[in-house]
Amino acid sequence: MAIRLYDSLTRDYKVLGQREPGAPPVSKEHPFTFYNCGPTVYGPAHIGNFRTFVVNDVLRRLLILEFGADQVRYVRNVTDVDDKTIRRAREEGRPLAEVTKQWTDKFHADCATLNCLPLDPQFEPTATGNIAEQRRMIEVLMQKGHAYRTSDGSVYFKVASFFGYGELSRLKERELQPGAALLGKPQSADADEKEDGSDFALWKAWKPEDGPVKWPGPAGAADGRPGWHIECSAMSKTLLGETIDLHSGGVDLLFPHHENEIAQSQCCNGVQFSRHWYHSEHLLVDGKKMSKSLGNLYTLDDLSPKHASPADIRFALLAGHPRKQLNFTLDSLHAAKSAVKQIHDLASEITLRAHSSAYPLTVFNQPPHLNSTWGAFGPVRDALCDDLNIPLALGHLFGVRNEDYVRSMVRSSFSVPAKWENDFEGLRKVIFALGIRFTAPQDNLFAVPSDIKLLADKRWAARQAKDFKTADALRKELAAAGWAMLDGKDGYKLEPLKK
């Protein structure tokens, strides 16, 4: 099924992976290439950052389900040198690499806690690990007349040299020309030498406050460090090629970061940079932008395990439409907890019917079979593939548990395993796409032996037929075998009797 996603550049919905005539279709040899701007590592990421990374993780998982794992190549970089990282290292009197390693490790640990799929190290490049590629690109831009050197040895991109500048962020529609108020006045001393206020740094000449942080510059430039934007252009080119299928990030990156990436890449390579641009909206906390001074800035450690399990937090970050702002409150964690419990119960019920002896629910943590069906969960897939409409997908997921479905569960019991097998595989896909992980041992389904299930079915049938004598006798038989049968309105549950 095709995944349709809103494209911030054309302001329209486009099918992912549809390439221009002449370009090879998505295949193992020409995988779908997806670049997601990663974190700046100078402190713990907050839950707003994680909303963006979790949304991108769901998108990556959906691409894997639709194209196949070997046809998706995903890159998420680590920004490990910039003003903020250098300032933090200076304040703490520690080497830059030590500070950024500490926070990269913490970011990885948090991503694992939130059950984001891991990255092959090759596809998590760092800015400092790719200086040569950035230098090369800057040199090409200078040779082609898109960049110039200032007297201190810095290099700037000449915005006026790129006709398409501002298309992504609609600069012209906002009647703002390069150099106008939005872009601000030159801020630092070296910026005074910029030919135009909107020109941006590709290479920053070393300054005393940078301490030991410096690398040899591009030809003709001073020692120093790359500007922020060039790292993504260079690393995406190195790992994914000159034209990629999808580029994403939080909405704040649209301008200037992504606008500048387009300018650098297209002027350097002479071809379209990204076929598709996807921006997810921000997370608010208690209706406000997160900030330390408001006391509403949460990291994962602030919430887990005090307030919620990692699965609950992940669910709370996912619950809204990714292209709409989402308001997070501690109460939303309660709602998430109950939703995760419902998914867990549905998984238990379907597993019980799909398998003659029950599986532990941790089977849902393994990748699903890609060529299986979605069973009763086709509408969930449709909603996810339609602009990643997660709220609609969740509506369908919980809608599956309607009266008819529950009744069909009770009626069929274990007599139509093929249907339940399909639904089991479908639910595995849904749970994989959302990245819900069942962890605690109590989340595991008790293994119910098939003879016990048979007895329970018989008893349920007797009860339905109002043959209470037989039903009672069967209940005793079950109890003697160590099982309690809990009757509900529309079905029953089996639990081992406590010894």
Hey, which residues does 157 pair with through a beta bridge? 147, 200
Q: Which residues are registered as beta bridge partners of 493?
A: 486
The Cα–Cα gap between 438 and 315 comes to 12
Choose from ligand AMP, Zn ion, none: what does 154 bind? Cβ within 5-8 Å by kind.
none
The neighbour count for residue 188, using CB atoms within 10 Å, is 12
CB of 40 to Zn ion, least distance (A): 10
What value, to the nearest 5°, has the Cα angle with vertex 323 and ends 320 and 326? 40
**Chosen from ligand AMP, Zn ion, none, partner binding at 265 (C-beta under 5 to 8 Å by type):** none
Residues 220 and 142: beta-carbon distance below 8 Å: yes
* Cα(171)–Cα(178) distance, integer angstroms: 8
- Binds 283: which of Zn ion, ligand AMP, none (CB < 5-8 Å by kind): ligand AMP
Q: Which is nearer to ligand AMP, 104 or 269 (CB)?
A: 104
Compare residues 127 and 350 and give the one whose CB is closer to ligand AMP: 127
Residue 114 CB, nearest approach to ligand AMP (Å): 13
Give me the least distance between CB of 37 and ligand AMP, in Å please. Answer: 5
- Least distance in Å: CB of 260 to Zn ion? 9
State the burial class of residue 372 (Cβ atoms within 10 Å of its Cβ: 0-12, 13-18, 19+).
middle
Strand order in the sheet with 32-36: 72-76, 32-36, 246-250, 277-280
* Closest separation in Å from C-beta 453 to ligand AMP: 46
Closest CA relative to residue 344, chosen from 389, 306, 309: 309
- How long a stretch of residues is the chain? 499
Q: Specify the residue, 56 or 351, whose C-beta has the smaller distance to ligand AMP.
A: 56
Q: Which does 54 bind (CB under 5 to 8 A by kind): ligand AMP, Zn ion, none?
A: none
Nearer to ligand AMP, 150 or 233 (CB): 233
Q: Which is nearer to Zn ion, 235 or 462 (CB)?
A: 235
Burial class (CB in 10 A: 0-12, 13-18, 19+), 263: buried
Shortest spacing between CB 266 and ligand AMP, in angstroms: 21
Binding residues for ligand AMP (CB under 6 A): 37, 39-40, 48-49, 51-52, 249-250, 252-253, 282-283, 290
Q: Are 359 and 428 in contact (CB under 8 A)?
A: no
Which of ligand AMP, Zn ion, none binds 105 (CB below 5-8 Å, type-dependent)? none
Is 73 strand, coil or helix? strand
Nearer residue to ligand AMP within complex by CB, 49 or 150: 49
- Name the closest residue to ligand AMP (Cβ): 250
Count the Cβ atoms, other than its own, within 10 Å of residue 270. 10
Please list, residue by residue across 407-441, b when 16 or more beta carbons sit within 10 angstroms of its beta carbon and e when fewer do: ebbbeebbeeeeebbbbbbbbbbbbbbbbbbbeee
CB of 228: closest distance to ligand AMP in angstroms?
9
Shortest reach from residue 281's CB to Zn ion, in Å: 17
Instruction: State which residue, 183 or 283, has the beta carbon closest to ligand AMP.
Output: 283
DSSP summary character for residue 30? S
Which of Zn ion, ligand AMP, none does 51 bind, CB closer than 5 to 8 A by kind? ligand AMP
Question: Nearer Cβ to Zn ion, position 83 or 193?
Answer: 83
Which of ligand AMP, Zn ion, none interacts with 232 (beta carbon under 5 to 8 A by kind)?
Zn ion
User: Which residues contribute to the site for Zn ion (CB under 5 A)?
Assistant: 37, 232
Q: Which does 282 bind (CB under 5 to 8 A by kind): Zn ion, ligand AMP, none?
A: ligand AMP
Distance CA 67, CA 28 (A): 9
